[in-house]
Structure 1
Amino acid sequence: MVTFLLERTAPLSQDEAWRRLTEWPRHGEAVPLTRVTVVPPGPTAEGTLVVARSGIGPLGFDDPMEVTVWRPPAEGVSGLCRLEKRGRVVRGWAELEVHPGPGGRARVIWRETLRCPLVPERLLRVAARSVFGRALNRLLRGS
């Protein structure tokens, strides 16, 4: 099992940082060889299923994640989204938090625990921090 924490401060409002982090298909644009779909389509709520399909053609796997906590930020209240990973290949959970930061900026925390028996733990730790760190930067940049 691998646990990692990523923190960023972005020149965005809490609401804009939240929107960028929870626009699920954009995660597929930020993570190589990945496409993300949402079931049911539409606004996210507890029970929404976010499915990341990673790989090329039949050489891939699904990473289904169920939203178990959905609390968008409100005036003076931090936002929190928790996803439980329910796949056969990848298990664990992820939490995305958006807090008020200094100077009206948003402070973002991405915390995740991964279990992937097919990948050595040391390699998984390095790859996860690298891939998700770059993805978080790209999501917050908006490009």
Structure 2
Amino acid sequence: MNNEAVHNNSIKYRSDIDGLRAIAILAVVIYHAFPSRLPGGFVGVDIFFVISGYLITSIILKKLDMGNFSFIDFYIRRIKRIFPALLTVLTACYFFGWQALFVDEFKALGKHVLSGIAFVQNFVLYFEAGYFDSASELKPLMHL
């Protein structure tokens, strides 16, 4: 269920949208597990983000119409929704890396964890890219 709709009473919950999100996620999972079974499954990521954009835009427009939209409140809600999962993933990767990686690999992971917390991971990865860079398979937070 869309928590944003429940907390704000700003848009009506729609199970069909959650169903589409589930299909999109399932397509991506199948693509990663069995790429030959669903070669275009990566499109599920795009579908998921379009649906999320629709829902977020609906909430913003409704709040604007009601005259009570606030950027601060909007970002506080986003942080409350995203940070628990983000911190869980970053913590798990960090402790796994602590046990499994060599010192320089662990140092790189630490940089990626910090850049993930600061929401600048894409910039860090962009500036790391090059001929002598380590393979993307060795960057556990590449898809962050």
TM-score by length of 2: 0.29
Q: Return the structure number with greater relative CO, CA threshold 8 A, min gap 6.
A: 1
More strand by share: 1
State which structure, 1 or 2, has the greater radius of gyration over its C-alpha atoms: 2
More helix by share: 2
TM-score by length of 1: 0.29
